[in-house]
Amino acid sequence: MSTTLEPPGAAAPATGTPDIRGAAVRRGDRVFVGLSRGAGILILVTMAAIAVFLIWKSIPSLQANTANFFTTSEWSPDAKPVVFGIAALLFGTLMTALIAMLLAVPVGIGIALFIAHYASRRLASTLGFVTDLLAAVPSIIFGMWGIQFLTPQLQGFLQWLTTYFGWIPIFQNDLGIYTRSILIAGIVLAIMVLPTISAISREVFVQTPRTHIEAALALGATRWEMVRMAIFPFARPGMISASMLGLGRALGETIAVALLLSATYEINWHITEPGGITFAANIALKWNEAGTIGLSALVASGLVLFVITLAVNMGARLIIARRSEFSGAN
């Protein structure tokens, strides 16, 4: 039986006394948890405060309105009687955002996939830098570029759409004018949201576990089959998140859309004809000239946009939660 002799003067360690490093780490963890919880609560309080403010400011116009707020297209909140509604605004907002997402999502995901798994390292870094640089361009620049350059260049394409696909109602153009249309605004919005979708999707593609990729290739999969079976299932929640963030910007874009659309308060399904207006563009164009009820009506339209944005993000979270079992993160 061996015994260990303590050096002279050494005292036995006190049982239950925490180590200095351990105490510091635990104290830091508590501080971090408290700060994180406080930040989350602050975000919720801020969102609740915004909602309360919008509802409070919207009540005067909603009480004075003599028309149906959801089905009326006319916008005359300062007239006598007060008549305004969000039907045209809702249509313009959703239609331009839908066109933007239909164009930007496949292109953005394709660019991200090419940069992450197909391009050489030098080419990938260059393309990634150029794509991310688009996010730094102010929206007013996109608007002026769309008016001065893109619109004249698209004249022939829009005429071709009307000539050969005019039997489809949305491509029909009875006016023969191909400027300031919802389609052009949607194309510009697609270019604006492209960097967001591409950047987030690229980061998710890069984080795909190497073992998943090597396993697919070892089973004899081609490059595309590997992408479809290994990368896409893992990256699906991230791609959905990227698309929803892009949709949020498309829904709330203001200056570029205000420059590109000729503000008409009517629902026109012919997306190549002039006309259309969105919530954000209408607020920007009417704010300085609106009266008391007019300002309240604009805030009411902003409340609807706020609710739409919340609904889109909540829907995205539900989709991600339902798809999380395919991501491989667990």
What's the confidence (pLDDT) of residue 25?
59
pLDDT tens digit sequence for 25-73: 588 888 888 899 999 999 999 999 999 999 999 999 999 999 899 999 9
Mean pLDDT is highest, among 48-52, 196-200, 246-250, for 48-52
Q: Using CA atoms, how far apart are residues 55 and 43, in angstroms rounded to an integer?
A: 18
Q: pLDDT class for 323, splitting at 50, 70, 90?
A: low
pLDDT tens digit sequence for 273-283: 898 899 999 99
Mean pLDDT is highest, among 169-173, 254-258, 300-304, for 300-304
Q: Using CA atoms, how far apart are residues 113 and 14, in angstroms rounded to an integer?
A: 58
141, 148, 184: which is closest to 272 by C-alpha?
184
Does residue 120 sit in helix, strand or coil?
coil
pLDDT at position 123 over 60: yes
For residue 195, cis peptide bond before it (omega within 30 degrees of 0): no
Q: Alpha-carbon dihedral of residues 79, 83, 85, 88, nearest 10 degrees?
A: -70
Q: With respect to CATH, is domain 63-326 assigned 1.10.3720.10? A: yes
Quote the percentage of the chain above a pLDDT of 90: 38
259, 7, 44, 224: which is closest to 148 by C-alpha?
259
Looking at every residue in the chain, the average pLDDT score rounds to 85
pLDDT at position 178 over 70: yes
Domains in the chain: boundaries? 63-326
Does the global pTM surpass 0.75? Answer: yes
Task: Check if the beta carbon of residue 82 is closer than 8 Å to that of residue 293.
Answer: yes
Residues 6+ apart with CB under 8 A from 192: 100, 134, 139, 142, 249, 250, 253, 256
Q: Alpha-carbon dihedral of residues 102, 105, 108, 110, nearest 10 degrees?
A: -90
